Amino acid sequence: MSRFHDAAQFEAELRAIGEERYHDKHPFHILMHEGRLNPEQLQAWVLNRFYYQKSIPLKDASLVGRSENIDLRREWIGRVIDHDGRKPGEGGIERWLRLAEGVGLDRHYVSSCEGVLPATRFACDAYVRFVREKSLLEAVASSLTELFAPDLHKTRIDALLAHYPFANEGTLAYFRTRLVEAPKDVKFGLHYVLRHAETREQQLLCVAALRFKTDVLWAQLDALHHAYVSPGLVPPGAFRMENRA
């Protein structure tokens, strides 16, 4: 095992994971940002990604429920509230449903999660389990893809506005809000990980957790790409535009 890394080295090691394997490099995102997704492909992305959005408060609340550290709980509960909102019509999930309506999907169909690719479920469920079952340190480390998210969100907002008629400040509100929320969230998470990974072994667990999370994100786009871009092999029972027009 390599030697304990100081905070700066360890942070660089975590950031290098984003350089190597964050899903901004996935061809599906590249097609999206070049304006080359057709309406069905965009709908499939929004529909499947809803399942991920829906999973986020489950994993975050589970994390809060496992932490003896009141500072962590006080901070982390904000993520659940950001996502769920304080009342109907508010929150990140609601904003995602507005995006879904913007691309022409019915919000009840999207909320039902019918038509979601099985591979999306398997990946997102694996993430929720990971956060529920691994150490708190690994659970926090797995959230650190947020280090890389703001750049992707900025690129995405500009690209969607440039290329897709559905895009406007209303339909894209989810991403605008995340531009503010994610940096605040990740600042706490990164600080926590840098401080609580006290041995090289713990640092390597954090590295593995973050790599796991990049796998969760990448696998979702692989499944979308395979089903809806090439070779267009939609699994039995999954969303097809012709059935939901």
Shorter beta-carbon distance to a copy of itself: residue 194 or 208: 208
Shortest approach of a copy of itself to residue 24 CB, angstroms? Answer: 12
Shorter beta-carbon distance to a copy of itself: residue 29 or 95: 29
Shortest approach of a copy of itself to residue 48 CB, angstroms? Answer: 13
* Cα-based torsion angle of the residue sequence 154, 172, 75, 183 in order, rounded to the nearest 10 degrees: 10
Whole-angstrom distance, CA of residue 96 vs CA of residue 172? 8
Shorter beta-carbon distance to a copy of itself: residue 101 or 125: 125
Shortest approach of a copy of itself to residue 238 CB, angstroms? Answer: 9
Shorter beta-carbon distance to a copy of itself: residue 84 or 215: 215
Shorter beta-carbon distance to a copy of itself: residue 226 or 244: 226
Structure tokens given for 14: 């975590």
54 close to 63: Cβ distance less than 8 angstroms = no
Q: Which residues make Cβ contacts (< 8 Å) with residue 166, sequence separation at least 6?
A: 42, 102, 103, 104
Q: Quick check: bond before 88 cis, omega within 30?
A: no
Shorter beta-carbon distance to a copy of itself: residue 119 or 157: 119
146 close to 136: Cβ distance less than 8 angstroms = no
Tell me which amino acid residue 91 is.
G
Query: Can you say whether residue 90 is alpha, beta or left, with left for phi > 0 and alpha for psi between -120 and 50 degrees?
Result: beta
Positions touching a copy of itself (CB under 8 A) are 20-21, 27, 117-119, 121-123, 125-126, 129, 211, 214-216, 218-219, 222-223, 225-227, 229-231, 233, 235-237
Q: How many residues does the chain have?
A: 245
Shortest approach of a copy of itself to residue 97 CB, angstroms? Answer: 25
Q: How many CB atoms lie within 10 A of CB 47?
A: 24
